[in-house]
Amino acid sequence: MLRFLNQCSRGRGAWLLMAFTAFALEMVALWFQHGMGLKPCVMCIYERAALFGVMGAGIVGAIAPKSPLRFAAIAIWLYSAWEGVRLAYEHTMIQLHPNPFVTCDFAARFPSWLPLDKWLPSVFVASGDCAERSWSFLTFSMPQWMLVIFAAYLAVGVLVLIAQPFKPKRRDLFSR
């Protein structure tokens, strides 16, 4: 399995698949916001930013999958997935254990060198309440689903990182 993951990490297809899945999840989030009228909270916006990080890692990895740039993509992937797990867990705890003293901010705080809320306000401006459960599927709320999704991204990312020293087998026409 590790040889297979190493081989996949050296091809564009797997990286593009990861970027596409993250892009599809972003489109679903925008559909929830603009199509269904659900208001994203600050934690939702931060989780979106982490998902954009996963998508960016997929794009970086697809640029040159056989070069050392692949390791930068894996680092971006792992960091974004880890932050996504952390944010989704915190958001889940806010929803499962509401407390008037533990709330999220009213507006997202992005660094001055990356003001996403100013550049793309229709995507990165928060207007909802973090403790409100406005949507659920199979009894899981949106942050609980995001926790599962980010955990899957993280688990696969760790396996791909572990697989890097394992060289793919060379297939020979005459070997067994």
Q: Can you state the percent helix, strand and coil of the chain, rounding each to 5?
A: 65, 5, 35
Tokens of 112: 């001055």
As annotated, the active-site residues are 41, 44, 48, 104, 130
Q: Buried b vs exposed e over 129-155: b needs ≥16 C-beta within 10 Å? A: bbbeeeeeeeeebbbbbbbebbbebbe
Specify the DSSP class assigned to residue 40.
Answer: P
Helix (H) or strand (E) holding 140: strand 140-141
Contact 93, 106 (CB under 8 A): no
